[in-house]
Homo-oligomer: A and B are copies of this chain.
Amino acid sequence: MSKIVTFGEIMMRLNPEGYLRFKQANKFEVSYAGAEANVAVSLANYGVDTKFVTKLPDNELGQCAINSMRQYGVDVSDIVIGGQRIGVYLVEKGASQRASKVIYDRAYSSIAYASQSDFDWDRIFYNTKWFHFTGITPALGGELPEICMLACKMAKKRGITISCDLNYRSKLWTREKAGQVMSSLMPYVDVCTANESDAFDVFGIKAMRTDIDAGKLDYDAYVSVAKQLVERFHLKMCAITLRGSLSASENNWAGMLYDGVSTYFSKTYNIKIIDRVGGGDSFGGALIYSLYNHHNGQDAIEFAVAASCLKQTIEHDYNFSSVQEVQALVSGNESGRVQR
């Protein structure tokens, strides 16, 4: 009876403790994460019935991934068991001028080799109001572009709202392939989210004159990109995250939302980074929560940006912020005073 369904990959995440580099590590912290899994956990944390759909191998690691979702209340009853392996990725946390590094070892995963017959969308979408996926899912290859297309069509038929985070990954596919596949899926999408560079990487749409590394944001450019996306694909809404990377330890973070009529810019947070991986997913999860609950445009973007600001102060990918914590930050409490 889950109201929101997300579909994609969940991987085993390994990272050295603290700020150790891979070459120094003799222990890895183990967690489980993936773009759409992260969104599902965010939504479950906010109290929304959420189902995550993927395919995982029939071994303890697959079960651990399932348990990690279930622990936080995500409905895992439609996860398909089979295939060879769970994807793995490794994160080395950067600091100051030293960038974080991610090594992906995700090829040949169960989900990447899933077939259309694995997923019974009729059952999956029972009672569903919202469907979310990201550009990573079709980028995994195999039959996934077709599976995504089928899911979108089935969702559309039921009047389910569809959201998609462009999430371009150059290691997974070329810009050409991405543009072609995503162009075929976007017509089904109602709400599109993206970071500063995704629109250009996938569709060649330029965020003109932004100077992202310097931490300065050109608001007009983002409006221009959002409008182009909305117009080209007849979206209801488009949201863009704006990251100003001052260093691996400090980022500026904001977001904008365009609803076809108005643009809403959030306030900008200066974040002392604990772990920025999963930041965009927590933005997506919180934005969906807001829109699903019919918040207005300004409230929605403020909630999404505050939520994803908090995520980046939390270790690992999942966002363990509650609605109350996010709202307290939205209300202006950035002081970090001890909550006794």
Contacts and interface: CB of A to CB of B under 8 A. Distances in A.
Interface of A: 14, 17-31, 59-61, 63-64, 67-68, 70-73, 84-85, 88, 90, 92, 94-105, 107-108, 169-171, 212-213, 245-250, 269, 271-274, 276-277, 306, 309-310, 312-316, 320-321, 325, 329, 333-340
Contacts of A246: 335-336
A29 B163 CA distance: 39
Contacts of A272: 95-96, 247, 249-250
A96 B340 contact: no
Contacts of A60: 21-23, 92, 101, 103
B64 A72 contact: no
A19 to B, nearest CB: 5
Contacts of A316: 24
B339 A100 contact: yes
A108 B107 CA distance: 9
B29 A27 contact: yes
A29 B26 CA distance: 6
B313 A23 contact: no
Contact of A22 (B61, B273, B315): B61
A124 to B, nearest CB: 19
Nearest to A215: B335
A100 B336 contact: yes
B249 A336 contact: yes
9 contacts: A24-B316, A27-B27, A27-B30, A84-B107, A99-B339, A170-B340, A212-B335, A246-B335, A250-B272
